[in-house]
Structure 1
Amino acid sequence: MRQVAYKVIRQVTAEDGYANLVLNKALRDQRLGGRDAAFCTELVHGTLRWQGTYDAILARSVSRPLTDLDPELLDLLRLGAHQLLRMRVDSYAAVNEMVTLTRSEVGQSRSGLVNAVLRKVSQKSFDQWITTVAPHSDDDLFGYLSIAKAHPRWIVEAFADALQTDGYELDDLLDADNEPPRVTLVARPGLAEVDDLVEAGATRARWSPYAAVLQGGGDPGRISAVSSGRAGVQDEGSQLVATALATAPLEGTDAKWLDLCAGPGGKSALLAAIGSQRDALLTAVEPLPHRAELVRANLRAVPGDHRVLVGDGTKPTWPEGSYDRVLADVPCSGLGALRRRPEARWRRTAKDVEELRPLQERLLDSAITSVRKGGVVAYVTCTPHPMETRAVVDTVLAQRGDAVLEDARPLFPGVPSLDGGPDVQLWPHLHGTDAMYLALIRRT
């Protein structure tokens, strides 16, 4: 299992692979299930999630700069450090297994270094190492949290800005970000009921009327409603923002809905299922053909003549004001879903946020242009970064003058801690969801 985990980590770090996709394929190919699959998953996700922290610890345990180590060797050391510091693995067994793995993967000559470094790492607990390698929190809180909670400093600072705090709530958010997420299912209305998912072993979720949580993980594909497309895997936060758009008050016609940035199609499927119960049809737009195919696959079980278009949402091919409801779930940094993508925090940079901002503004402007007078737009991101959320909305509305921001909080009944509005920010540490953001905009 360690060898499988190591090969997955190498694909992620050396080939920019996505951990969830590479790992799932490896587990299938090796026919690993149950405890073996869970152990392998923790090896991979934990090593990738805590990479920055382990690098700080290894830098104190290696006699040369980490940049001088071969990448293969560094990944082996990170994998060993995770077993020693964050898993219930006997230290002697962890070191010996990693030395054996080193011999088979990079050669006998490197095994002595791995043995020496990991034995040094094993001499302190995780908390003791944090005290050793992180700055004191009173002197540099963000620097301390960056090491202690395994988040790049710029992300810690962005979260503090979004929360408007640098206190215990920031600490809670970073802790929640490091917890493996639950597998949440959505029962697409008119096709499946939450009771169907409960009978298959899930439990009802807290906020979304369509959500259930698959207890103990497991393969959701074994549930017939999921394998048939009547249900799907979807974070509860994603369900809530799509449902908010569908339930926003609307006068006049309500027959044409648009998902402007549809891929891979989870929100499209939920909107289409809700719309089908009201004789509303959804048009889903996705610029990449392979992602458009994923949207079609998600819509396959939903009744109605819903359309999937391959096209650029910033360049509408339909007349202005064609739609009654529009979802603009724009490309973003994805900082709200770091718990699902353990490698993402080390790949993203502050520059990514800057580079995405013009596209986000163009897509929101296009969404407002696409909706009719009196219609509603949901601007959605899976990030709490202020420059990708309210700043984008404020900029676009200031330029247009024909749309207003409305209070979205009543569209989240029963959901606590939504702060002052009018937009809504969900949080992993408060709501157990991804950090989804929604601004509800009505064209005037």
Structure 2
Amino acid sequence: MNPQEIQAGIAGALSAGNTAWILAASALVLLMTPGLAFFYGGMVRSKNVLGMLMQNFFCMGIVSVVWVLLTYSIAFGDANQIIGGFHFVGLQHMTEAVPGGLGATIPPIVFVSFQLMFAIITPALITGATADRWKFGPFIVFVTVWAILVYAPVAHWVFAPSGWLAKRGAEDFAGGTVVHANAGAAALAVALVLGKRRGWPGGDFRPHNVPFVLLGTGLLWFGWFGFNAGSELAADTRSGYAFINTNTATAAALLGWLIVERIRDGKATALGAASGAVAGLVAITPACGFVSPLGSIFIGLIAGSVCALATAIKGKVGIDDSLDVGAVHLVGGVLGALLIGFFGTRDTYDNTTLSSHGDGIFYGGGASLLGKQALAVVAVVAYSFAVSYVLAFLLNLVYKMKLTPDEEQEGMDTVLHDESAYEFVSLGGGSAASLSAAKIAEESKS
């Protein structure tokens, strides 16, 4: 076939409704990265909030460019089971269908746009574990190289039909392994290389703006409907299941986290509610198109409670994971992927067109699916952690990645960006100025 004939064949199969939905879903997923920025930004001290927002917004810039130039081709090309190849470098050959029949009813360039948004938020998740101490220059280099060496190959293994884990039947509807377990493992690796924050664990590292955290959570919850329901790549019944399962699991996880807090600490907190919601969003991501709404309740409750308990691990092992990326994204992503092996059911999709997907243990499918999920989890986590650690270690040899103690004391905002999130001015009797001075002095000690 010549390119004109190929394009004519693609056009004949396109659905205007599906195309419109995926374009809208792409915008929803992009909104998640600013949402994540506010979620993380509210949890750090006020002297570091712009540094956190800047890292997240920078991911929107660099990953978008690298995706067009190279990483889309590595992720979704069809060269072999390990890497997609370079056929689509620079987004060439967009007249050709996406390999493996992905998104057959939408234009290939729309599929590219949707998957780009996943590539953007994944490295942004890493920044939560390294909050308060990662220099901006090394961060730029790390994120750029990581997107090429880690994200793109892992996306090919799991998302592309020709990937070796996809061929073995591993299920990941919207990125529990590719996005969350992947980023969570990388986050712990970089946190180990960077080392602990000045004064951790004994200092005062309380969130400076919990309303920011809740705002970020709301934006994430809203955008996540595009993340999960959009991953069906069509506006159909299964995307409806993904939508309702996403909301249900998130709600259940919020409750599960608060129950653990109430029993363990005596009080339920707003920060806990936000963290529980995100844990539920993470855990349902790989499972949302494979489980029933009832199953999503159990997944949410399990994720919310287990992730809440997992926040205590970093103190026991001495890893300064600043904002609990490991406890929420690594643990939540792994849980969601593995729980498909228990709660997966063919009832949510047409098993004549998806016959490779099976039922989980609770639906009479045996342990086969659980084994496939475990293989995917181990492979992705091990690869991401190893490559991320080596990359961060080598980069740290060339250019020390961590702020000095004096720079940490001053804060990322002024040291790295010569800006401040909050400018206090005197109003009348100087009370605002006094409050500002007291706040700055307090943070300088922490």
TM-score by length of 2: 0.23
Structure with bigger strand share is 1
| Rg larger for | 1
TM-score by length of 1: 0.24
Structure with bigger helix share is 2
